[in-house]
A and B are shown apart, each in its own frame.
Chain A
């Protein structure tokens, strides 16, 4: 955490809402990425990210200053998303039917854009095969470089449970990857080669 962020955090802890707004500005990316990867839906991810910051703001008094603020935020986001997924299970919707909003790269290269979009969609479908807690563990491990201990603390698990979940999730991901029909076309494609040909 940078010095200026520490300053905003200390101000926010004293009740300065504007300072917390600065923290929202800083951490919106990581929180949104986690929510989007967890929920696979941009609208739900936006709602979950907003709710995460709202919950963080309301429970700032309970924040342990010795812990990393970003890990604390990710912990709130992960717990919220896990709850959302569990609630969502009440109405089973096939992954293919879930709404998907394309996140476009501002680059003018349409091929790269399509490839990136396909990769994102593939990542989503792979993650969707995992149970919510395993999904959160994988996301925190590969997108945030969190240690086993940090993941354990964020997800209220033991370190050995995190290791075991990651192992199980990796096996599941490899298995899902093998069974995916898209897999051949994507992997067989040469770099910079258009998927249309």
Chain B
């Protein structure tokens, strides 16, 4: 009755650590452990149990996967790639949708704001419009006048023979252009 109580009070350190350590013990430590094991049933039991577990682990053969593991992995990779592609497509579609939605919303608010301004001050908007139209018409008229002036100058500078030469050159260039176009079309027909 007294012996187990005494054993319970006994310190198991450092013997427990030595038993459970995989490191080789120094000769002195090994001797001390052997002496301790003779008097301590707990450590002796631990030593036996751990030795048996270790033996079981060492003797347990490695577990192998069933045949065709690599083929199954390759099939899974292909499936995963497909899923990833679909996920990417969905992500892209969502992104495009969001960009379009943001753009549409911006335009909507912009035009709503402009429309609101138009409704608020329709006379001013009408006046600005008329003013811009007048400016454009003035610009077109100015261009027309400039072109007429250049043509007048050119007719006074270039003699009638020059006009004939220019017209002939323009005609020849047009002919060359038509012929080359025709040849290109024939070539495409052959190759296709």
Which residues of A are at the interface with B, using a C-beta cutoff of 8 A?
17, 21, 24-25, 28-30, 32-33, 36-37, 45-46, 49-50, 53-54, 57, 103, 105, 116, 119-120, 122-123, 126, 138, 141-143, 166-167, 170-171, 173-175, 177-178, 183, 187
Contacts and interface: CB of A to CB of B under 8 A. Distances in A.
Interface string B59-90: 11111111001101110110010000000000
A167 B53 contact: no
Nearest to B54: A142
A183 B50 CA distance: 12
B56 to A, nearest CB: 6
B70 A177 contact: no
B58 A50 contact: no
B124 interface: no
A30 B58 CA distance: 15
Contacts of A183: 52
A142 B46 contact: no
Contacts of B64: 29, 32-33, 103
Contact of A24 (B21, B22, B70): B70
Contact of A167 (B21, B56, B76): B21
B73 A123 contact: no
B70 A126 contact: no
Among A126, A178, A183, the most chain B Cβ lie within 10 Å of the Cβ of A178
A123 B59 CA distance: 10
A17 B57 contact: no
B69 A178 contact: no
B66 A46 contact: yes
B49 A33 contact: no
Nearest to A127: B57
A32 B64 CA distance: 6
A183 B56 CA distance: 11
B74 to A, nearest CB: 6
29 contacts: A21-B70, A21-B73, A24-B69, A24-B70, A28-B69, A32-B63, A32-B64, A45-B63, A46-B66, A46-B69, A49-B65, A49-B69, A50-B73, A103-B63, A116-B61, A119-B59, A119-B60, A120-B63, A126-B53, A138-B57, A166-B22, A170-B20, A171-B20, A173-B53, A174-B46, A174-B49, A177-B49, A178-B45, A178-B49
Contact of A120 (B17, B52, B60): B60
Interface in B28-66: 45-46, 49-50, 52-54, 56-66
Interface residues of B, number: 31
A175 B65 contact: no
Contacts of A28: 65, 69-70, 73
A53 B20 CA distance: 34
Nearest to A37: B63
A36 B63 contact: yes
A40 B45 CA distance: 28
A120 B57 CA distance: 9
B62 to A, nearest CB: 4
B21 to A, nearest CB: 7
Contacts of A171: 16, 20, 46
A46 B70 CA distance: 11
A187 B61 CA distance: 18
B72 A25 contact: no
A145 B60 CA distance: 14
Interface string B17-28: 100111000000
B69 A142 contact: no
A134 B34 CA distance: 29
A-B pairs, top 10 by smallest CB distance, nearest first, are: A174-B49, A32-B65, A174-B50, A33-B62, A36-B63, A170-B20, A142-B57, A28-B69, A25-B70, A177-B49
